[in-house]
Chain A
Amino acid sequence: MANTNNQEEILTCYHCGEPCAEELIPFDDKPFCCNGCKMVYEILNENDLCNYYDLQSAPGISLKNRDYQEKFAFLDNREIQQKLLNFSSAKLSKIVFKVPAIHCSSCIWLLEHLDSLREGIITSRVNFVRKEVAIDFNPQVISLKTVVELLATVGYEPEINLQNASASKTKKENRRLYLQIGIAGFCFGNIMMLSFPEYLGFEGLDQNVQRFISLANIALALPVVFFSASTYFVSAYKGLAQRYVTIDVPIALGIIALFGRSLYDILTQSGPGYLDSLAGLVFFLLIGKWFQSKTYESLSFERDYKSYFPLAVHKITEGAKEVVQVNELVAGDVIEVRNREVIPADAILLSSGAAIDYSFVTGEAEAVQKKKGDRIYAGGRQVGQPIRLQIVKAVSQSYLTQLWNSDTFQRQSRYDTLIDTISKYFTVGVLLIAAATAAYWYWQGPAHILNAVTAVLIVACPCALSLATPFTLGNAMAILGRQKFYLKHMTVLEQLWQTTRVVFDKTGTLTKGSAGNVHFHGRLTQEEKNLIAAAAAGSTHPLSRMIYAETFATRQLSAGDFTERAGKGLQATVNGNQIQLGSAAWVGAQEPQAHPEATRVYVRINGALKGYYTFGNVYRQQVTETIADLRKYKLSVLSGDNEAEKANLAAMFPAGTEMAFHQRPEDKLAFIRQHQEQGEKVVMFGDGLNDAGALKQADVGIAVTEDVSAFTPASDAILYGGNFHRAGKFLKFGRDTQKVIFASFTISFLYNLIGLSFAVSANLTPLFAAILMPLSSITVVAFATFAVRGLAYKYKF
C-alpha cells in the first residue's frame, strides 16, 4: 500500500518487529502489533525474563492470527504420548521438539529459561542447527499438553508429527565422519614428522632408528587405511556389486596400491614407502566429503502430507467426545473439527455450513464455503465454528494420500552425476595405462614392472578430481543459500545444467499467496471509506481483512450493531450509518453474467448501492525480470484456476509459452512427465501441496515460499518468495558452475598426466608423490573456491 499517511511514523512492534499497521497496542510504554505479542511480553515481564529483548531487538515471533484453544488436546492421548516421548518415568519425561521458529540468540535464551516460566520443567536445551529443543519435565507437575501450549503461547509452536523421531541416524553418520577426519589428520601429521629425515635426504640415521621409524609409520597408517578410508572401500564394493563404477573405485584402488607398495618397500627395505602420501590423500578426501555433507539440516525437503495432518481428532461416539488417532478412523465415523484444524480425511459435512481454507493445498487464500451434505476433501482447514463431519474414506484412502502414494511419488531418481560418468572412463583408462605399462616393462626390464604399475595406480588416484565437484558445488550451494535459495543437495546443481524447460505454477508462485489486488468499482468519498474500514475491521473473513488493509481510514471509527452471516456478508452501523458488505444477494444487487467466476464484494451504505470490490491476482515483484532472465529456456505456466488471468500472463511471457488452466494436481504431474518423455529436462516452480506431485516429478522441483522454515512440499530446492525475481539469475549461476567444474577437471587431469609420465617410466619417487598429490588437491580446491566466488561477484550475489 502506498504510504500516503498523515501519521508521523509507523511504529514497529517491540516484540516481533513487524509494523503496527493494522493495530497499535501501547503497553508499558512500548508499542505492540497485536494482543498476542503484548501477552508474551507480559508473561516474560512478569517472570523477569525481559533479557530476551536485550539480546536482540524485536526477536519475537508475530502472534497475529493464531489460536491455540484445544489444538493440542490430542496430546492427552496416552498412545500418542508414548510415541512422542523419548523417555518417560513417573517423575521425568524427555522429549525433543522441532521448532522451526528458532532464529536468533534470544530464541535460545528464552527456550533455555523455560524452567523459570513454569513449574515442572526441569531443563530445556536448544540445538540451533537442527532447530530443536530438548525438554525434560516432570509429568506429575506439568502435562505434555501444557508444555506444548506454553511453547506455542510464547511463539515457538513445535512441529509435532510421528516422523520427527528418525533424526538420530544422520547424527551418528556425521560423528563418524568427524572421527575419521580426526584420526586421518593425526596420523597424517605424525607420519609427515617421521618422514622428515627422508624429505631432507638425511643419510646418517642409525639402522635401528630407521627401522623404528618405518614400523611406527606402518602402525600409524593402519588406522588410516582400516578406519578412515573404510567408507571408500565399502562404497566401491557396493558400486561394483551393482555393476556400477563410481569414483570410489579408482580411489580404493589407489589406496590399496599405496598401502601394499609401501608395505612391500618397507619390509624388504627397498625404500621408505608412500605412507605420508596415503595419509594425506585420505585426509584431503575426507575433508572434501565433510564439505559435501554440509546441507541445510534445519530445512525439511522431504515433507509429505503426513506432516500436516493432525495426529488425533475428536471423534463423536453416542454424543460423547473422544480423542482418537487419525489412522484409526474408519468410514462412517463422525468427527468434530474446530477452528484452524486440518480435516484429516475425505468427509461429508453434517453441520449447516463451513468455511474451508485450502490455502495450504492450493495456495488459494479465500476460504471455500460449504453447505450441509457437501463433500469435503482432506487437507482443508475449517475457519470459524466447530463443524461435524462424517468420514467417507479412511485416511489412507483419501484424496491427498492417494495422490501421494501413487507410483510416481515413489520414483527413485537414479541418474548419473557427471563424476559418475567420468569415473567409468577414468577407471578403465587407468587400468589400460597400467596394463600397457606392465607390458612395456615386461620387455624392457621385468624388475621394474611392479614399481611402474603400482606407481601408475598411486598417481592416478583421482583425489583432485573427486574434490573438484564438492568444492565447486558446495561453494555454489552456500552462496545460493545466502540468497535464500536452498538446495537439498549439490547434485541439484548438476541437474540444472541440462534444463531445457521451466514450468511455473501460477497461484502462489507467480502471484503472491496471500495478498490480493483489491480494486473498487464505483466511487467512494473518504468518509465512506472510513465507514467501510470500520465495518470490515470487525470481521475475520479473509476478504474483509483484505478490504480493511486496502481501504485507508483517516479516522478510527467503531462499528456497532454488527452481524455477520457466513458465506453471505456483514452488516454494521457506524456513526449512525448502515453499512452492508457482501455478495450480490446479500446487498440486493444484480449479479452480472459476464464474469461469474470473479469474486465480488458489494457495498451498500444507507440503502444506496455504491459499487463492488474485485480481487485480482497480485504478481510478485519483478516477475518480468525473472522471465526475461529465463528467455533461453522453453517456458510453461500451469494454473489450477480459470482462464481469467490468461491475458495478463500472455502479456508477461514471451510468445510461444505454453499455458494450461484448470489443472488438477494429476494434470500438472502428467504435463511434466509428458515433456520429460520427449527428452526434456524440466525445472518446476510451485508452492502448494497440490504442486507436490509435479515438483517431485520434475528434474528439479523448486518450492517457492514466504516462510522457508514453515510449509514446503517435497522438493529439491526451497526458494524464499521475496527473492523470486532473482530466480532466473540463480538458474544461470547454476549453469555457470558447470564451466568451473570442467576447468577444475582439466587442472586435475593435467596433474595426473604429469604424474603418470613419471610413473610409467618408473621414476616416481616417494618424495615426488608426497609433493605432487597434496599440491594437485590444493590447487583444485583453491581454483574451484575462487572461481565460484568470482562468478557470484559477477552476478552480484
Chain B
Amino acid sequence: MAVIIVLIIVSVVVAAGFLAAFLWAVRSGQYDDTVSPSVRMLFDEKKPKKNEKKTQT
C-alpha cells in the first residue's frame, strides 16, 4: 500500500510545478494586461524598413 504514498507525492509535485508556473506568470506581470498580448501575437514580425518601397496594399 506504500506505493500510494509515492504516487500521491508525485502527483502533488507535478501539480506544484504548474502552481509554480502560475505564480511566476502572475509575478512577471502577465495578468496585468490580458488584452494587448492577444493582439500583439498577430502582428507581423518583420520590422518595416525605411525607403524600401513607397506604397503598400
Query: Are A129 and B50 interface neighbours, CB within 8 A?
Result: no
> Chain B contact residues (Cβ within 8 angstroms of A): what range?
35 or more
Hey, what's the 0/1 contact readout for B42-57 against A, CB within 8 Å counting as 1? 1110011111111110
Bound state CA distance, A249 and B34, in angstroms?
A: 33
- Within the complex, which residue of B2, B19, B35 is in contact with A208, where a contact is CB–CB below 8 Å? B2
Bound state CA distance, A174 and B30, in angstroms?
A: 12
Query: Are B43 and A109 interface neighbours, CB within 8 A?
Result: yes
Interface residues of A in 183-221 (CB under 8 A from B): 183, 186, 189-190, 193-194, 205-206, 208-209, 212-213, 216
Q: With both chains docked as a complex, state the minimum distance between the C-beta of A575 and any C-beta of chain B, in angstroms.
A: 40
Hey, what's the 0/1 contact readout for B14-57 against A, CB within 8 Å counting as 1? 01101100110011010111111001101110011111111110
Task: Give every chain A residue within 8 A of B19 (Cβ-Cβ).
Answer: 182-183, 186
Number of chain A residues close to chain B: CB under 8 A: 39
Task: Give every chain B residue within 8 A of A178 (Cβ-Cβ).
Answer: 26, 31
Bound state CA distance, A110 and B38, in angstroms?
A: 16
Query: Are B33 and A128 interface neighbours, CB within 8 A?
Result: yes
Bound state CA distance, A213 and B8, in angstroms?
A: 9
Query: Are B8 and A47 interface neighbours, CB within 8 A?
Result: no
Closest residue of chain B to A28, judged by CB? B55
Task: Give every chain A residue within 8 A of B10 (Cβ-Cβ).
Answer: none
Query: Are A209 and B50 interface neighbours, CB within 8 A?
Result: no
Bound state CA distance, A585 and B50, in angstroms?
A: 58
Tell me, yes or no, whether A51 is within 8 Å of chain B by CB: yes
Query: Are B26 and A128 interface neighbours, CB within 8 A?
Result: no
- Within the complex, which residue of A48, A129, A179, A213 is in contact with B26, where a contact is CB–CB below 8 Å? A179
Q: With both chains docked as a complex, state the minimum distance between the C-beta of B33 and any C-beta of chain A, in angstroms.
A: 4
Query: Are A175 and B1 interface neighbours, CB within 8 A?
Result: no
Q: With both chains docked as a complex, state the minimum distance between the C-beta of B29 and any C-beta of chain A, in angstroms.
A: 8
Bound state CA distance, A491 and B20, in angstroms?
A: 35
Interface residues of A in 24-61 (CB under 8 A from B): 28, 45-51, 55
Q: With both chains docked as a complex, state the minimum distance between the C-beta of A700 and any C-beta of chain B, in angstroms.
A: 29
Tell me, yes or no, whether A230 is within 8 Å of chain B by CB: no
Tell me, yes or no, whether A127 is within 8 Å of chain B by CB: yes
Bound state CA distance, A189 and B11, in angstroms?
A: 11
Tell me, yes or no, whether A289 is within 8 Å of chain B by CB: no
Q: With both chains docked as a complex, state the minimum distance between the C-beta of A220 and any C-beta of chain B, in angstroms.
A: 8
Bound state CA distance, A105 and B41, in angstroms?
A: 11
Bound state CA distance, A733 and B5, in angstroms?
A: 55
- Within the complex, which residue of B32, B40, B43 is in contact with A129, where a contact is CB–CB below 8 Å? B32
Query: Are B12 and A190 interface neighbours, CB within 8 A?
Result: yes
Task: Give every chain A residue within 8 A of B44 (Cβ-Cβ).
Answer: 51
Q: A108-B40, A212-B5 are in contact. Are A129 and B48 (CB under 8 A)?
A: no
Task: Give every chain A residue within 8 A of B5 (Cβ-Cβ).
Answer: 208-209, 212
Q: With both chains docked as a complex, state the minimum distance between the C-beta of A78 and any C-beta of chain B, in angstroms.
A: 31
Query: Are A128 and B39 interface neighbours, CB within 8 A?
Result: yes
Q: With both chains docked as a complex, state the minimum distance between the C-beta of A121 and any C-beta of chain B, in angstroms.
A: 13
Residue in A47, A48, A105 whose Cβ sees the most chain B Cβ within 10 Å: A48
Q: With both chains docked as a complex, state the minimum distance between the C-beta of B8 and any C-beta of chain A, in angstroms.
A: 7
Q: A109-B43, A179-B23, A182-B26 are in contact. Are A126 and B36 (CB under 8 A)?
A: yes
Query: Are B39 and A108 interface neighbours, CB within 8 A?
Result: yes
Query: Are B26 and A175 interface neighbours, CB within 8 A?
Result: yes
Tell me, yes or no, whether A171 is within 8 Å of chain B by CB: yes
Tell me, yes or no, whether A112 is within 8 Å of chain B by CB: yes
Task: Give every chain A residue within 8 A of B42 (Cβ-Cβ).
Answer: 105
Q: With both chains docked as a complex, state the minimum distance between the C-beta of B1 and any C-beta of chain A, in angstroms.
A: 4
Query: Are B39 and A48 interface neighbours, CB within 8 A?
Result: no
Hey, what's the 0/1 contact readout for A587-618 against B, CB within 8 Å counting as 1? 00000000000000000000000000000000
Query: Are A193 and B11 interface neighbours, CB within 8 A?
Result: yes
Bound state CA distance, A28 and B55, in angstroms?
A: 9
Bound state CA distance, A175 and B23, in angstroms?
A: 9
Q: With both chains docked as a complex, state the minimum distance between the C-beta of A274 and any C-beta of chain B, in angstroms.
A: 20
Q: With both chains docked as a complex, state the minimum distance between the C-beta of A213 and any C-beta of chain B, in angstroms.
A: 7
Q: With both chains docked as a complex, state the minimum distance between the C-beta of B15 and any C-beta of chain A, in angstroms.
A: 6
Tell me, yes or no, whether A71 is within 8 Å of chain B by CB: no
Q: With both chains docked as a complex, state the minimum distance between the C-beta of B10 and any C-beta of chain A, in angstroms.
A: 12
Residue in B15, B33, B36 whose Cβ sees the most chain A Cβ within 10 Å: B36
Tell me, yes or no, whether A116 is within 8 Å of chain B by CB: yes
Hey, what's the 0/1 contact readout for A157-188 against B, CB within 8 Å counting as 1? 00000000000000100110011001100100
Query: Are B48 and A116 interface neighbours, CB within 8 A?
Result: yes
Task: Give every chain A residue within 8 A of B15 (Cβ-Cβ).
Answer: 186, 189-190
Bound state CA distance, A159 and B44, in angstroms?
A: 29
Task: Give every chain B residue within 8 A of A49 (Cβ-Cβ).
Answer: 48
Query: Are A48 and B1 interface neighbours, CB within 8 A?
Result: no
Tell me, yes or no, whether A664 is within 8 Å of chain B by CB: no
Tell me, yes or no, whether A130 is within 8 Å of chain B by CB: yes
Tell me, yes or no, whether A113 is within 8 Å of chain B by CB: yes
Hey, what's the 0/1 contact readout for A104-128 against B, CB within 8 Å counting as 1? 0100110011001000000000111
Query: Are B39 and A105 interface neighbours, CB within 8 A?
Result: yes
Query: Are A108 and B36 interface neighbours, CB within 8 A?
Result: yes
Task: Give every chain B residue within 8 A of A213 (Cβ-Cβ).
Answer: 8
Task: Give every chain B residue within 8 A of A130 (Cβ-Cβ).
Answer: 32-33
Query: Are A48 and B4 interface neighbours, CB within 8 A?
Result: no
Query: Are A128 and B31 interface neighbours, CB within 8 A?
Result: no
- Within the complex, which residue of B16, B27, B39, B40 is in contact with A175, where a contact is CB–CB below 8 Å? B27
Closest residue of chain A to B39, judged by CB? A105
Q: With both chains docked as a complex, state the minimum distance between the C-beta of A10 and any C-beta of chain B, in angstroms.
A: 25
Hey, what's the 0/1 contact readout for A223-251 against B, CB within 8 Å counting as 1? 00000000000000000000000000000
Interface residues of A in 717-742 (CB under 8 A from B): none
A-B contact pairs, 12 of them (CB 8 A): A45-B55, A48-B50, A48-B52, A108-B39, A128-B35, A128-B36, A129-B35, A175-B27, A182-B22, A186-B22, A189-B15, A206-B2
> Apart from A50-B56, A206-B2, what are 14 other A-B pairs with CB-CB below 8 Å?
A51-B44, A116-B47, A116-B50, A175-B31, A178-B31, A182-B22, A182-B23, A183-B23, A186-B18, A190-B15, A209-B1, A209-B2, A212-B5, A216-B8
Which A residues lie at the B interface, using CB under 8 A? 28, 45-51, 55, 105, 108-109, 112-113, 116, 126-130, 171, 174-175, 178-179, 182-183, 186, 189-190, 193-194, 205-206, 208-209, 212-213, 216
Task: Identify the 9 closest CB pairs spanning chains A and B, nearest first.
Answer: A128-B35, A128-B36, A48-B48, A105-B39, A206-B1, A127-B33, A186-B19, A178-B26, A182-B22
